[in-house]
Structure 1
Amino acid sequence: MRKIQILLLLILCQTVYSQVKSTDELYKTAKKLDSLIFNVGFNTCDLSHYDSIVSDDLEFYHDKGGITSGKEAFTTSIRNNICGGPNKVRRELVPGSMKVYPLYNNNILYAFIQEGEHDFAEFYKGKWNKGSRAKFTILWILENKNWKMKRVLSYDHHL
């Protein structure tokens, strides 16, 4: 019986402490990177910083749009489809949905997983119209002391 209690305690501790708290420095870093990708890049179409935070070999998997491979293809897609289309699209992180999970190798942080939900709206006929809500998962890798968006899953888009 004692072994079962210890095992359950270990499982509970792993579940409780696997994601970082919203007050943790890594969470704040993830929030800042999210803002650079989406609030600055996606929403205002300032893509100038993408070169420093998007990995050259980015893989972006989208349940509606397929696979985008590479930083250049990703940046071009945002520029042409989000910023250059006839109707502007806006993305907002769903409050309270973001979670951050650190990844270690020999007790050294080398990456983290960011997951959450986001809402989209489209500016059409002079007003913002509610679009879809979707889930996302992003793998951020530490490359030469800089965080780079490496792998992205964008899925479960629904109204």
Structure 2
Amino acid sequence: MHRDDNGVLELPCCPDSGSDHTVISRSHWGLLIAADPNVQQPLLDTPVQCLAFGSYPVVARTQALLHALIHTAAGPVESAEAVPCLVVDMVDDEFIIGRDLLATLGIDVDRQLELLATHRDDETSDDPFSLGADEPPAERRAATDDEVRAAVGVQIETAL
């Protein structure tokens, strides 16, 4: 976790498809304020109850609008606008990327899992080539000494 040359605070993050909200811990919030004192943390009209890792209940009473840049396998992805992020009093080493931010970035985890499951079924249904994926493995047995001698003899004759 550090601040880069452009003044951007880099935090370890965890995409959490089980979290409806993007969440930053109070300790990370302190680092963010140190990096940019202009970031605002307005009170929520109604506190938001969340379940942290291990079903530990936490309450967010404030939120901030943040610009998030996430490094993915396809490259960095950044939301066009600032996204709401709940500030919670909990000890967490990671910035939690919730469904709200994932959706803003066009990432639908449920849809991706659905496509993955459907794609697996499609792989063999329209395939003109049989790869034997659905066939049970052939029964294997150990070669006899006579079969081994015969195979070695053929190899020797071929080599000469």
TM over 0.5: no
- Structure whose CA Rg is larger: 2
Name which structure has the greater RCO, CA cutoff 8 Å, separation 6+. Answer: 2
Tell me the TM-score normalized by structure 2.
Answer: 0.25
Whichever structure has more strand as a proportion of its residues is: 1
Tell me the TM-score normalized by structure 1.
Answer: 0.25
